[in-house]
């Protein structure tokens, strides 16, 4: 059987899947680099250091006093915006709710 020029450019579904998966991985790495400045993976599992320091707790109490209906994710964003926490030390939503 001989291949024509048209047969060479037929795209295989498997190769398209592999290309798509590779592009997704590259996209995740670019997002991680944009967010953290590094492509190193984050730690999975284990215990995190305590981030609810007195300064953080006081800021959360102050935010709640200013706006009682403020959501936990809004508090997290405000902690970051006000410079109380960094991306690495901001408490999780469940920690803010506690």
What is the rounded distance in angstroms from the CA atom of residue 77 to the CA atom of residue 90? 9
**What does each of the 98 residues of the chain score in pLDDT, given as a tens digit?**
555 555 555 566 667 777 778 888 888 888 877 777 777 776 666 665 666 788 989 999 999 999 999 999 899 999 999 998 888 888 888 888 88
pLDDT at 40: 76
Tell me if the pTM is above 0.75: no
pLDDT at 11: 62
Q: Which residues neighbour 51 within 8 Å (Cβ) at sequence distance 6 or greater?
A: 85, 89, 90, 91, 95
pLDDT at 64: 92
């Amino acid at each position: 059987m001989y291949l024509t020029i048209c047969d060479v450019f037929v795209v295989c579904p498997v190769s398209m899947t592999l290309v798509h998966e590779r592009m997704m991985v590259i996209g995740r790495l670019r997002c991680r680099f944009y967010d953290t400045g590094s492509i190193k993976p984050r730690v999975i599992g284990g215990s995190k250091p305590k981030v609810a320091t007195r300064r953080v707790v006081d800021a959360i109490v102050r935010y709640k006093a200013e706006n009682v209906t403020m959501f936990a994710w809004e508090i997290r964003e405000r902690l970051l915006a006000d410079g109380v926490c960094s991306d690495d030390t901001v408490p999780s939503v469940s920690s803010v709710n506690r």
